[in-house]
Structure 1
Amino acid sequence: MESAAKRRRSLPVLREWVYVISCVLLCATAASAQSAILEKIAFTTQPGSQLAVTLTFDQPLSAEVDSYAIEEPARVVLDLPGTRSMLGEKRFKLPQANATSVLVLESEDRTRVIINLVELLPFHTVVSGDQLTLRLGEEIEAVDVGVQNTSNILRTDVDRVERVVSEITDLAFQRSADGEGLLILSLSNPGVTASVFSEGGNITLQFRHTGVRESLIRRFDVTDFATPVQGIEVSTTEQGTRLTLRANGLFDYLAYQTGNTYTLAVTALNEEEQRDRLNQFDYAGDRISLNFQSI
């Protein structure tokens, strides 16, 4: 009798455990079923530096694709939430001058595709059914970005930008907790990238085929932020928009883009970093002695 009573008391507990385990298995199965599986990757090269990377899944993508560019080292990244990779390889070498390789990485809930480049080029993504295609190096068709101009030409008091495909809609400058100067730009088109170079005490950003709101075409004094950046000048040319940052002392910079936000971080070098930077320009040859009296 006592044994039968114990069995009756244990039955509800057993049913609860069976219920919990069943729920866990159902959730895991549902999550697995919702994940789109990357089954195939294909590369199509075209004249010049144009490249198309096509990803084929077992079902249409349910989550939005996040794509962004990194300036140094040059690369384009596709972040694919809710996907898994069933490819047999992770690294693919490319026989192209500008695009060197593609890396496919998988985490718990997403797949990340990294295209390593020699030089950044404009890019955009196209989703069609169960395929996602990244087109690199193609000219983007001109679109209306809200400028009051019927010919898609942004006219300013400085110059005009022909074939506008993007616009800088906002500009902000901040000081980070580490003392970096952060220039943050909002872009209407995330597929447009910038070329960045440093000359003397200036850092220049050049956005091709990109306009800018007329209220932003001016000089900004940012000395009060106490960063290496002293001022910012925004101007336009026929090719696009140029931003010139005037910096003080020795500095380093890093540019990166996430979606529609482009960020340039400028960091002052400490004493040791300054010595290392200056030593890079020291003369490394043999010393010579000249006696002008014997010439």
Structure 2
Amino acid sequence: MKIVNPFKILTRYLTWLAALWLVVAPALAAEAPVPVDGGARNSIESLEHTKLENGKIIFKIGLHQPLQNPPIGFAINNPPRIVLDFPDTANTLGKNTYDVGDTELRNLNIVQSGTRTRLVVNVARMSEYETKVDGNKVLLIISHPEAVKVSPGAPQRFAEPKLGEPKKQSLRNVDFRRGSNGEGRVVVDLSDPNTGIDIRNLGNNLVVDFSNATLVRDQERRLDVVDFGTPVQTVETFTQGNNVRMSIESKGLWEYSAYQADRQFIVDIKKVQADPNKLVPSAKAGYSGEKLSLAFQNQDVRAILQVF
């Protein structure tokens, strides 16, 4: 009778597992993302730009690993900024500022906080932009401000509605707050960050239209926010056809800034202090032409008028 040594079988088994691991481990290591800086699994490694003949500027943002989708971005109206967020991404460019050398598009700031990097484009005025993924590069295409003609009262667009998409987006919540500087802040929670949004001035009101959107029933209301002590008096949100409209009524002199951060759309309305020099003519401002002296005597009226 042949006696099988169990230790010999165990040794062969462990040897086989070790050989298998030597084959599989390199492949797993190649597929698994390796932290590149401070725990981030991706990094911005290059940044360059090209200006086209039509005035558009294309930024090519090179990454260590390609993205599945374009980064989330939003625009700020005042001051004009375009912002892109890269989560789980480090800045390995070795600098925090990228100069463009264009009078209308000044520079870019690359700011890393923890494992998140934010790219801020400082523009002279509001500009249209779009983002695309091209391999391991993200393309940021900005329309030259001179090519973007915006007439007074024209809507400012935050996201274009997706055509052919049957599903409607919804406004889940509309909230009002008082900011730390006394500004009125309207915060809208969206079901989809790609909801089409138009915003424009209409008299004393600021009108915001959400394209192809619905409104939760209890959010179709008129908020009286006078007691908050901000320029905003009322915020009315209601359904209008296939869209949702928000009308923000304010008093006095005011200005607004609007921006979108992922699924939140925020409008800030702050009071503007009137410049007394613009309302009352300066005492120093006088007649700058040739001085004229008149001695009123018993003269013919026609002769006097000829002096003027």
TM-score where L is the length of structure 1: 0.59
Deviation of residue 258 (structure 1)?
A: 1.6
SS of residue paired to 2:269: strand
**Is it true that 1:281 corresponds to 2:279 in the alignment?**
yes
Structure 2 unaligned segments of length 5 or more: list them.
1-34, 144-158
Match of 2:100 among 73, 76, 93: 93
SS of residue paired to 1:279: helix
**Residue type matched to 1:182 in 2?**
R
Give the Cα separation in 1 of the matches to 2:68 and 2:99.
26
**Is it true that 1:258 corresponds to 2:258 in the alignment?**
no
* Residue in 2 that maps onto 1:125: 131
**Is it true that 1:142 corresponds to 2:163 in the alignment?**
yes
Residues 290, 66 of structure 1: CA spacing in aligned structure 2 closer, same or farther, 3 A cutoff?
farther
* Residue in 2 that maps onto 1:43: 49
Counterpart contact for 2:67–2:136, Cα < 8 Å: yes
**Residue type matched to 2:175 in 1?**
A
Residues 241, 39 of structure 1: CA spacing in aligned structure 2 closer, same or farther, 3 A cutoff?
same
Residues 170, 38 of structure 1: CA spacing in aligned structure 2 closer, same or farther, 3 A cutoff?
same
Residues 57, 35 of structure 1: CA spacing in aligned structure 2 closer, same or farther, 3 A cutoff?
same
**Is it true that 1:172 corresponds to 2:179 in the alignment?**
no
Residues 236, 120 of structure 1: CA spacing in aligned structure 2 closer, same or farther, 3 A cutoff?
farther
**Is it true that 1:189 corresponds to 2:196 in the alignment?**
no
* Residue in 1 that maps onto 2:5: none
SS of residue paired to 1:213: strand
Counterpart contact for 2:43–2:91, Cα < 8 Å: yes
Match of 1:109 among 96, 100, 115: 115
Deviation of residue 94 (structure 1)?
A: 5.4
Give the Cα separation in 1 of the matches to 2:160 and 2:227.
40
Deviation of residue 75 (structure 1)?
A: 0.9
Give the Cα separation in 1 of the matches to 2:68 and 2:132.
14
Deviation of residue 261 (structure 1)?
A: 1.3
Counterpart contact for 2:83–2:118, Cα < 8 Å: yes
Residues 268, 30 of structure 1: CA spacing in aligned structure 2 closer, same or farther, 3 A cutoff?
closer
Counterpart contact for 1:167–1:189, Cα < 8 Å: no
Deviation of residue 192 (structure 1)?
A: 5.2
1:198-254 CA-partner distances (Å, limit 9, x unpaired)? 85xx242455x834426667755433544321123457999x876442212344543
Give the Cα separation in 1 of the matches to 2:93 and 2:36.
22
Give the Cα separation in 2 of the matches to 1:230 and 1:42.
46
How many equivalent pairs are there? 240
Give the Cα separation in 1 of the matches to 2:173 and 2:125.
26
* Residue in 2 that maps onto 1:213: 214
**Is it true that 1:204 corresponds to 2:206 in the alignment?**
yes
SS of residue paired to 2:279: coil
Aligned-pair identity in percent equals 23
Counterpart contact for 1:232–1:244, Cα < 8 Å: yes
**Is it true that 1:54 corresponds to 2:60 in the alignment?**
yes
Q: Which has the larger radius of gyration?
A: 2
Counterpart contact for 1:64–1:80, Cα < 8 Å: no
Deviation of residue 35 (structure 1)?
A: 3.9
TM-score where L is the length of structure 2: 0.57
**Residue type matched to 2:211 in 1?**
T
Give the Cα separation in 2 of the matches to 1:68 and 1:170.
20
Structure 1 unaligned segments of length 5 or more: list them.
1-28, 148-165
SS of residue paired to 2:275: helix
Residues 168, 105 of structure 1: CA spacing in aligned structure 2 closer, same or farther, 3 A cutoff?
same
Residues 277, 169 of structure 1: CA spacing in aligned structure 2 closer, same or farther, 3 A cutoff?
farther
